[in-house]
Amino acid sequence: MSTAISTDLFTLTEDHRAVREAIRDLAEHEIAPHAADVDERERYPIEAQKALTAAGFQAVHIPEEYEGAGADAVATVIVIEEVARVCGSSSLIPAVNKLGSMPLLLSASEELKQQVLPSIASGEAMISYALSEREAGSDAAAMRTRAVRDGDDWVLNGTKCWITNAGVSSWYTVMAVTDPDKRAKGISAFVVHADDPGFVVGSKERKLGIKGSPTREIHFENCRIPGDRIVGEPGTGFATAMATLDHTRPTIGAQAIGLAQGALDVAIGYIKERRQFGRHLAEFQGLQFMVADMAMQIDAARTLVYQAAAAAERGDANKTYLSAAAKCLASDVAMKVTVDAVQLLGGAGYTRDFPVERMMRDAKITQIYEGTNQVQRLVMARALLK
């Protein structure tokens, strides 16, 4: 038996390192300067969208056959991580494009893929994901939005909530009930365009964080769409939705890692400069222990996120467990690290003069969306005990 060990086993490829270098440079020069204003004014980060699109980073996961870059899942989470490191709101541009388009990549007809995906790849359009409802959050199978066949068309009625980038996106992947007697197996997936008759966007939610990314309800009022806009076969929508999350929960983990790393970077810079009692704060052992723990936790979470992203793309048997674990661990780490970063800056950290309070507010949502961390633990336990 060979005992040779590949020294490259736990390192990123040259291509992945090149992606990180390119997106970090773009994020620091084109996105970071606007991050505070985006948060303060609760405005969409149009500068980030333009910069990401110009560089081809707004939807790097779209395969080449649909005019995309064809980046793998690890490259995609690197992009999201590096954008989140400077602006959580802006990181939702590539993250939500993957979330909204993944059901098509997994289950749509070739004709529907060709109709929608090239516009996402080019940046001409964005795509959002519509699963949740007010009375069907964690229990998504309890949704009430209905889709009824009418001749060659489908007619949708109902309301979806918590839709990220609603009003900015042109396309929406929507889950709706087509057979109410079958519960989860009576749910189907559809693609709706913002110009479809009967599609209405609600007002923006007033949020704690990620204020630059609009979150709205979307309403379907006898919304009529062509019959070929169904994703897969009728009744397969819920299965597609759950399979999608295996691929996209690592992207939330990546967003969380980026927020945590950005906060740690600021905190380290601050304590190396700030002096108290005649010494730099970085010379006090208590604070040294804090930054050591923060960095250790980030590195552990990052490794799990990359592992989960790769496992989902390969279709590994444990992908559901790993994706839930990566999202759960990374978001818990992000919340702890950003809180500790505020603490390290003291009173300054509690002000808007420094970005750590924004990063702390942005981090909270990573423990909630795409399944709360309590739900993630249920998903992990079921995978382990089945």
Average of per-residue pLDDT across 363-376 = 98
**Res 211 pLDDT > 60:** yes
CATH of the domain at 157: 2.40.110.10
User: What is the residue-wise DSSP string for 69-130?
Assistant: ----HHHHHHHHHHHHTT-HHHHHHHHHHHHHHHHHHHH--HHHHHHHHHHHHHTS--EEEE
Can you list the alpha helix ranges (DSSP code H) found in the chain?
A: 14-26, 32-41, 46-55, 73-84, 88-107, 110-122, 237-273, 285-314, 319-345, 356-364, 373-385
**105/155 same-domain check:** no
Name the pTM for this structure: 0.96
Identify the CATH number of the domain in which residue 298 sits. 1.20.140.10
Same domain, 32 and 107: yes
Express each pLDDT in 72-100 by its tens digit.
999 999 999 999 999 999 999 999 999 99
Could you say which of 198, 217, 236 is where a domain stops? 236
- 2 in a structural domain: no
Mean pLDDT of 191-213: 98
User: Same domain, yes or no, for 283 and 159?
Assistant: no
Predicted local distance difference test score (pLDDT) of residue 225? 99
Q: State the residue range of the domain holding 369.
A: 238-385
Q: Are residues 20 and 76 in the same domain?
A: yes
- Structure-block tokens of residue 132: 């949740």
Please check whether residues 182 and 288 belong to one and the same domain: no
CATH at residue 36: 1.10.540.10
Which of 236, 260, 279 lies at the terminal end of a domain, its last residue?
236
Q: Is residue 205 flagged as an active site residue?
A: no
Residue 108: inside a domain: yes
**Is 201 within the bounds of a domain?**
yes
pLDDT in tens, 138-181: 788 889 999 999 999 999 999 999 999 999 999 999 999 999 99
Helix ranges (H only) for 108-229 are 110-122
pLDDT at residue 246, as a whole number: 98
Domain boundary among 212, 236, 260: 236
Q: Is residue 55 part of a domain?
A: yes
- Give pLDDT, residue 2: 54
Q: What is the reported pLDDT for 6?
A: 62
Q: Residues 157-169: pLDDT tens digits?
A: 999 999 999 999 9
Q: pLDDT, tens digit, for every residue of 248-275?
A: 999 999 999 999 999 999 999 999 999 9
Residue 206 falls within a domain, yes or no? yes
The answer to whether residues 180 and 246 belong to one domain is: no
In a domain, 1, yes or no: no
Kindly state whether residues 264 and 342 are assigned to the same domain: yes
Rounded distance between C-alpha atoms, residue 14 and residue 70, angstroms = 16
Q: Out of 30, 81, 357, 370, pick the active-site residue.
A: 370
- Count of the separate structural domains present in the chain: 3
Question: 218 with 245, same domain?
Answer: no
4 domain-assigned: no
